[in-house]
Amino acid sequence: MRSDWTALPEHVGMAVADRVGGIVGVYPAPRGDHAEIASTVIGSTGTVFVKAASSGPGVRSLRYELAVTRTIDRYPPTVLWDFESDGWLVVGAEHLDGPHPDLSPGSPDLDTLAVTLTGLQEITAPDTRLFGPAGRLSFAHPAMDGDALVHSDLNPANLILTSQGLRIVDWAYATRAAPWVELALLTQWLIGNGHTPAQAEDWLSQFPAWAGAHPEVLDDFAARNASKWANKSRQSAEGWVRDLACWTYEWAAYRASGER
Ligand SMILES: Nc1ncnc2c1ncn2[C@@H]1O[C@H](COP(=O)(O)OP(=O)(O)O)[C@@H](O)[C@H]1O
Ligand SMILES: [Mg+2]
């Protein structure tokens, strides 16, 4: 859950100010809500994106993200500095400028996403401690195992279209898995952005990992993912949980209908 910048102890705020030559302005990220502090910090020597956490789970998650992003080049923002002080872990990263892509059917941003996904699908998971499919998704199938680096949360808010190409933030759920798992987890965002399940699958069929995934394995994944979100939505009134329950249900129902 997001906290205000003022939640940072004065001492920690000053340590950030030291690293940016004095703080000129702080703008909390309007999207996402997992990280405790996620803000654009404008300093007199430049702009950085700062994520910070103090709770046990928050610090563990941010530490995990920090370790993963340090091993990957090209897609994540470059980590500029990090420090721990007064019970807070604080990470300053390259600030990425640009809009989130439009993932609706026919959007030209989908072509940009396809180029990025093709590159991402070729990355072998680094040798660091990573989630496996069961740890990340709470369900498993032997075909989900693999050696690829799977971001696993490619919702548009975690994608930023910069003048140097599409970049990916929020690596807190990076997972070691088969590459088709990334694509299967993208169906919910394609459907949530206006695709029918058939259109989403048609778009995904351009990727070799999708074409190579056994239809029964995809049926199983769709059904388990939908059932997971249906359970979550029974226990939560949050809109985004209900949305994910709807979108994952749509995909699972399509696969179960035999229309594919
Ligand atoms: N390096 C960055 N530069 C610019 N904006 C960023 C950067 N990292 C994250 N953001 C923005 O902040 C939002 C929240 O950050 P994110 O890392 O996704 O945390 P959360 O776990 O809260 O989703 C993102 O959706 C994105 O819009
Ligand atoms: Mg996010």
Q: What is the pLDDT of residue 35?
A: 80
Q: Give me ligand 1 centre to Cα 159, in Å.
A: 9
Q: What are the two backbone dihedrals, phi and then psi, of residue 144, each rounded to the nearest 5 degrees?
A: -80, -15
Question: In the predicted model, what is the mean pLDDT of the chain?
Answer: 96
Quick one: how far is CA 238 from the chain centroid? Answer: 19
- Please say whether the beta carbons of 243 and 192 come within 8 A: yes
Give the chain's domains with CATH numbers: 5-94 (3.30.200.20), 109-257 (3.90.1200.10)
pLDDT at 34 over 80: no
pLDDT at 113 over 80: yes
Residue nearest to atom 23 of ligand 1 (CA): 32
For 21-35, 97-111, 202-216, which range has the lowest pLDDT when averaged over its residues? 21-35
Residue nearest to atom 21 of ligand 1 (CA): 34
Q: What is the pLDDT of residues 162-211, one digit of tens each?
A: 998 999 999 999 999 999 999 999 999 999 999 999 999 999 999 999 99
- Angstrom distance (rounded) from CA 125 to CA 113: 20
Q: What is the pLDDT of residue 2?
A: 74
Q: What are the two backbone dihedrals, phi and then psi, of residue 51, each rounded to the nearest 5 degrees?
A: -115, 140
- Angstrom distance (rounded) from CA 30 to CA 32: 7
Q: Give me ligand 2 centre to Cα 144, in Å.
A: 23
Determine the average pLDDT of the residues in 100-113: 98
- The share of the chain scoring above pLDDT 90, in percent, equals 93
Q: Give me ligand 2 centre to Cα 260, in Å.
A: 31
Question: Ligand 2 is a single-atom ion; what residues have CB below 5 A from it?
Answer: 32, 158, 170
Confidence band (pLDDT; 50, 70, 90) for 259?
A: confident
Mutate to test the pocket of ligand 1, among 97, 155, 170 (most ligand atoms within 8 A of CB): 170
- Please say whether the beta carbons of 119 and 74 come within 8 A: yes
Ligand number with the minimum distance to the CA of 42: 1
Helix (H) or strand (E) holding 175: strand 175-177
Q: What is the pLDDT of residue 247?
A: 98
Q: Give me ligand 2 centre to Cα 258, in Å.
A: 34
Q: What is the pLDDT of residue 241?
A: 97
Measured between alpha carbons, how far apart are the two ends of the chain, in Å?
39
Determine the average pLDDT of the residues in 86-107: 97
Question: Which amino acid, one-letter code, is at 176?
Answer: R
Residues with CB under 6 A from ligand 1: 29, 31-35, 38, 49, 77, 93-96, 157-158, 169-170
pLDDT at 54 over 90: yes
Q: Give me ligand 2 centre to Cα 159, in Å.
A: 9
Tokens of 207: 């990727």
pLDDT at 240 over 80: yes
| Gyration radius of the chain's alpha carbons | 19
Tokens of 54: 């103090």
Q: What is the pLDDT of residues 60-76, one digit of tens each?
A: 999 999 999 999 989 99
Measured from the CA of 51, which atom of ligand 1 is nearest? Answer: 17
pTM of the model: 0.96
Q: What is the pLDDT of residue 154?
A: 98
Confidence band (pLDDT; 50, 70, 90) for 123?
A: very high
Count the Cβ atoms, other than its own, within 10 Å of residue 112. 15
Whose tokens are 């003022």? That residue is 6
